[in-house]
Amino acid sequence: MTCRSAFRSVSMPLLAALTALGACSSPDEAPDLMRFRNASSQPDEFVVVPSKPLQTPDSTAALPVPTPGSANRADQTPVADVVAALGGSPAALDRSGIPSSDAALVAYAGRTGTDPSIRGTLEREDVEWRQRNDRTPIEKLFNRNGYYNAYDDMQLDPQAEQARMRARGATVPSAPPPLPEDD
């Protein structure tokens, strides 16, 4: 069997099936439940989600301080509800601060102190680097700074890095496949 006949034997039934499928799905003849939008002027009952019932606390001192932008206590919390239904702790979803499992890592990373203006410093250094390195003519003409070529020399070759690490005895299970060469 030649490649051309194999292609015909696969493509012709596939083309016929796609044509038949397209003919079956005329948007004018589709039932109302198959449409993606509500064409009627009536409200969509599936958009309305009931809120949780209101509860009166034993004392007003037990109420949390109102925080703008925070969730309403009567809003639905489907993920927390599923966690509770499966026997988990919904409070574990509301992690704030640093988890105890990461405390040692954060302490080590901040051992020499932190710079509160690091984001501004990195942004300034990045702009300076891109202005000095491989700006395209269009970027120079319109005084724009893109990431097109400035970081090309810093990219690692995954296969070469995998071979280097394996030669040093590190366990490296895989690397992404090589990119196809430009013709």
- pTM, full prediction: 0.33
- C-alpha dihedral, 118 to 123 to 124 to 129, nearest 10°: 120
Neighbours of 133 (CB within 10 A): 13
Measure the CA–CA gap between 176 and 161, rounded to whole angstroms. Answer: 11
- As a whole number, mean pLDDT of residues 113-140 equals 81
When pLDDT is averaged across residues 3-11 and rounded to a whole number, the result is 63
pLDDT tens across 63-95, in order? 878 787 777 777 888 888 888 899 988 887 877
Reported as a pLDDT band with limits 50, 70 and 90, residue 135 is: low
Q: Helices then strands (H, E): number in the chain?
A: 6, 0
* CB-based contact 150:135 (threshold 8 Å): yes
Q: Tell me which residue has tokens 């919904």.
A: 90
pLDDT at 120 exceeding the cut of 90: yes
How many residues belong to the chain? 183
Mean pLDDT for 46-63 is 79
Encoded amino acid at 160, one letter: A
CA distance 34 to 26: 11
Q: Which residues contact 103 (CB under 8 A, 6 or more apart)?
A: none
What pLDDT score does 2 carry? 62
Lowest mean pLDDT among 1-5, 40-44, 50-54, 124-128: 1-5
- Could you give the CA distance from residue 183 to residue 44 in angstroms, rounded to a whole number? 54
Q: Is the pLDDT of residue 156 over 80?
A: yes
With cut-offs at 50, 70 and 90, classify the pLDDT of residue 10: low
Asked if residues 149 and 167 have their Cβ atoms less than 8 Å apart, the reply is no
Tens-digit pLDDT profile for residues 122-134: 999 988 877 777 6
Q: What is the b/e burial string over 65-75, where b = at least 16 CB atoms within 10 angstroms of the residue's CB?
A: eeeeeeeeeee
d(CA 41, CA 170): 65
> To which H or E segment does residue 10 belong?
helix 3-24
Question: What residues contact 162, with CB distance under 8 A and at least 6 apart?
Answer: 172, 174, 175
The region of weakest confidence among 18-27, 46-55, 63-72, 81-90 is: 18-27
